[in-house]
């Protein structure tokens, strides 16, 4: 095997993260304050730096490859990395207060988040099955630890255990599929696999491996029927971990899909399309119907995640660059919405009390009209009402579906979206129309108020002027 010197500068975001996580690890030891201020500050600076580096090294690059074909740098990587790091910054900002109230504020939480980010970055620009898998494990392992972060919580330990066992199972599935793909193509490099798939060698074995890989991806997404872990983990994990787990890793799962099944096995699209239709319709049905009966807000959000994943898969099913860019847009807007929703739970909770039931939202408008307004925007956006970013996300996906002639699927999706409106609006009913006898004014630290306001503002702003983001997503997919 010929070795050529890698262009290290191309992997600047990963190298930066790798170096800085060691710095945070050491710096946290010498931080005497009880609240890990230094670790928090350094983590945010690191993520901000990573965003800058990802933009400067990847944006506008036309698929450059280094590290002997294992690392790819293109605009898609830039968009994915910026989104992942940005969402992590927001969710870590939200979770600070939550952790402080529960005496969980330790530097390790930020450290785990940083390593998870590194894993997601690695996946976003992986061009080899081996690198893809190592990135995935780096992400998953840190997420398991974050879910188990509150050691004294029984339900947290149970959630972590379930997540760990099912995550290991899905990793096993994916690894098995990857080994079959390797057997069929004789290479770990995505580019070589793509040429082999295009040439049509060993298609049967490749499709066999692809099936298992798709199952693994669906597990990581939480698409039905591989969604069983999602509600329990969302509910059991500390909300700060749920907020992190429910946002950035979904972008990483999309990265996994795009790199493995589009870059690598794009030529097998005909074969994975039918399976993806099953996943999409299943997720839409399970997510929306089960969410209807939930009284626990965190569980409801978990099922709503499943339904959103179903919508995201619709964009992937279309199989056109337009469809992929619609899916990317959907994932980004979902990340913004989900971080806001979990942020609201964190905001309403206080020491010894988790505001996780829908009933806990009652009379929010009387307690703080600003937060109620953000809640309104979030729920409208998740429903897909015009004026919010969620509308354009759904619209783009449906458009790409109809363009490829799958009208029936679009009709099914819209039907389920209407069902979904019920449970989102039920939350708003609690917020605006249910009255408390003596509403206690809601107080939150200034930092938290700023993030919530920003989060709501972005949803509204992107809902009114989505053109820039749509354009960015199109450029990322080479349109």
Q: Where are the alpha helices (DSSP H) in 319-356?
A: 321-348
Q: Is residue 278 near another protein by the rule CB under 8 A?
A: no
- Residue 101 · residue 76 · CB < 8 Å: no
Closest approach, Cβ 189 to another protein, in A, equals 11
CA separation for the pair 362, 249 (Å, rounded):
31
Q: Is residue 39 near another protein by the rule CB under 8 A?
A: no
CA separation for the pair 235, 228 (Å, rounded):
12
Instruction: Report the residue number, 14 or 354, with the smaller CB distance to another protein.
Output: 14
* Number of residues forming the site for another protein (CB under 8 A): 39
Q: Is residue 236 near another protein by the rule CB under 8 A?
A: no
Instruction: Report the residue number, 68 or 101, with the smaller CB distance to another protein.
Output: 68
- Which residues from 19-38 bind another protein, rule CB under 8 A? 21, 25
Figure out which of the listed residues 83, 170, 202, 365 binds another protein, where binding follows CB under 8 A. Answer: 202
Q: Is residue 360 near another protein by the rule CB under 8 A?
A: no
- Which residues from 241-260 bind another protein, rule CB under 8 A? none
| Among 155, 146, 148, CA closest to 119 | 146
Figure out which of the listed residues 204, 405, 408, 438 binds another protein, where binding follows CB under 8 A. Answer: 204
Figure out which of the listed residues 122, 190, 248, 430 binds another protein, where binding follows CB under 8 A. Answer: 122
CA separation for the pair 280, 283 (Å, rounded):
5
CA separation for the pair 257, 277 (Å, rounded):
15
Figure out which of the listed residues 131, 262, 276, 316 binds another protein, where binding follows CB under 8 A. Answer: 131
Q: Is residue 112 near another protein by the rule CB under 8 A?
A: yes
The conformational region for residue 120 under phi > 0 = left, psi -120 to 50 = alpha, else beta, is alpha
Instruction: Report the residue number, 111 or 245, with the smaller CB distance to another protein.
Output: 111
Provide CB contacts within 8 A for 375, sequence distance 6+.
344, 361, 364, 427, 428, 431
CA separation for the pair 229, 313 (Å, rounded):
19
Tokens of 191: 């580019």
- Residue 455 · residue 381 · CB < 8 Å: no
Closest approach, Cβ 140 to another protein, in A, equals 10
Figure out which of the listed residues 205, 278, 289, 410 binds another protein, where binding follows CB under 8 A. Answer: 205
User: Which of the ranges 201-209, 250-258, 309-317, 350-358 carries the binding residues for another protein, by CB under 8 A?
Assistant: 201-209
Figure out which of the listed residues 27, 64, 134, 453 binds another protein, where binding follows CB under 8 A. Answer: 134
CA separation for the pair 204, 182 (Å, rounded):
13
CA separation for the pair 244, 360 (Å, rounded):
22
CA separation for the pair 104, 218 (Å, rounded):
32
Instruction: Report the residue number, 111 or 361, with the smaller CB distance to another protein.
Output: 111
User: Which of the ranges 17-25, 242-250, 320-328, 452-460 carries the binding residues for another protein, by CB under 8 A?
Assistant: 17-25
Closest approach, Cβ 73 to another protein, in A, equals 13
Figure out which of the listed residues 31, 108, 267, 434 binds another protein, where binding follows CB under 8 A. Answer: 108
Buried b (16+ CB within 10 A) or exposed e, 416-430: bbebbbebbebbbeb
Q: Is residue 70 near another protein by the rule CB under 8 A?
A: yes
CA separation for the pair 300, 306 (Å, rounded):
10
End-to-end Cα distance, the chain: 35
Instruction: Report the residue number, 81 or 362, with the smaller CB distance to another protein.
Output: 81
Q: Is residue 144 near another protein by the rule CB under 8 A?
A: yes
Q: Is residue 275 near another protein by the rule CB under 8 A?
A: no
Residues found near another protein in the complex (CB under 8 A) = 1, 3, 6, 11, 18, 21, 25, 67-68, 70-71, 106, 108, 111-112, 115, 118, 122, 128, 130-131, 134-135, 137-138, 141-142, 144-145, 148-149, 151, 183, 186, 201-202, 204-205, 208
């Amino acid at each position: 095997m010929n070795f050529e010197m890698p262009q290290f500068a191309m992997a600047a975001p990963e190298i930066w993260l790798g170096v800085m996580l060691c710095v945070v690890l050491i710096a946290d030891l010498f931080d005497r304050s009880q609240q890990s201020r230094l670790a928090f500050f350094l983590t945010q600076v690191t993520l901000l730096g990573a965003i800058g580096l990802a933009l400067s090294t990847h944006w506008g690059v036309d698929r450059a490859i280094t590290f002997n074909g294992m690392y790819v740098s293109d605009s898609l990587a830039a968009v994915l990395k910026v989104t992942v790091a940005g969402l992590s910054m927001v969710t870590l900002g939200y979770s600070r207060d939550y952790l402080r109230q529960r005496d969980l504020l330790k530097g390790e939480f930020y450290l785990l988040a940083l390593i998870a980010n590194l894993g997601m970055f690695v996946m976003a620009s992986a061009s080899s099955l081996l690198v893809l898998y190592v990135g995935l494990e780096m992400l998953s392992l840190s997420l398991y630890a974050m879910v188990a972060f509150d050691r004294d919580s029984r339900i947290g330990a149970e959630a972590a255990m379930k997540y760990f066992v099912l995550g290991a199972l899905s990793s096993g599935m994916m690894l098995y599929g990857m080994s079959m793909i390797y057997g069929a193509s004789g290479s770990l490099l995505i580019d070589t696999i793509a040429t082999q798939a295009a040439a049509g060698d060993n298609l049967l074995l490749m499709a066999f491996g692809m099936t298992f890989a798709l199952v693994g991806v669906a597990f990581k997404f939480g698409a039905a029927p591989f969604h069983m872990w999602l509600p329990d983990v969302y509910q059991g994990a500390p909300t700060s971990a749920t907020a992190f787990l429910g946002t950035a890793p979904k972008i990483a799962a999309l990265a996994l899909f795009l790199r493995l099944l589009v870059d690598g096995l794009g030529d097998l699209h005909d074969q994975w399309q039918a399976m993806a239709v099953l996943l999409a319709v299943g997720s839409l049905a399970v997510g929306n119907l089960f969410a209807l009966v939930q009284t626990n807000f965190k569980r409801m959000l978990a099922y709503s995640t499943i339904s959103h994943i179903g919508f995201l898969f619709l964009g992937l099913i279309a199989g056109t660059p337009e469809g992929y860019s619609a899916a990317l847009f959907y994932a980004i807007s979902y990340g913004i919405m989900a971080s806001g929703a979990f942020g609201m739970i964190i905001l309403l909770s206080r020491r010894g009390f988790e505001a996780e039931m829908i009933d806990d939202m009652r009379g929010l408008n009387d307690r703080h009209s600003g937060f109620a307004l953000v809640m309104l925007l979030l729920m409208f956006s998740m429903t897909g009402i015009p004026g919010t970013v969620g509308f354009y996300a759904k619209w783009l996906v449906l458009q790409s579906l109809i363009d490829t002639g799958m009208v029936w699927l679009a009709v099914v999706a819209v039907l389920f979206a209407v069902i979904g409106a019920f449970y989102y609006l039920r939350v708003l009913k609690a917020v605006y129309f249910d009255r408390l006898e003596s509403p206690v004014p809601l107080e939150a630290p200034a930092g938290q108020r700023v993030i919530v306001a920003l989060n709501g503002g972005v949803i509204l702003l992107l809902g009114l002027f989505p053109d820039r983001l749509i354009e960015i997503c199109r450029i990322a997919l080479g349109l």
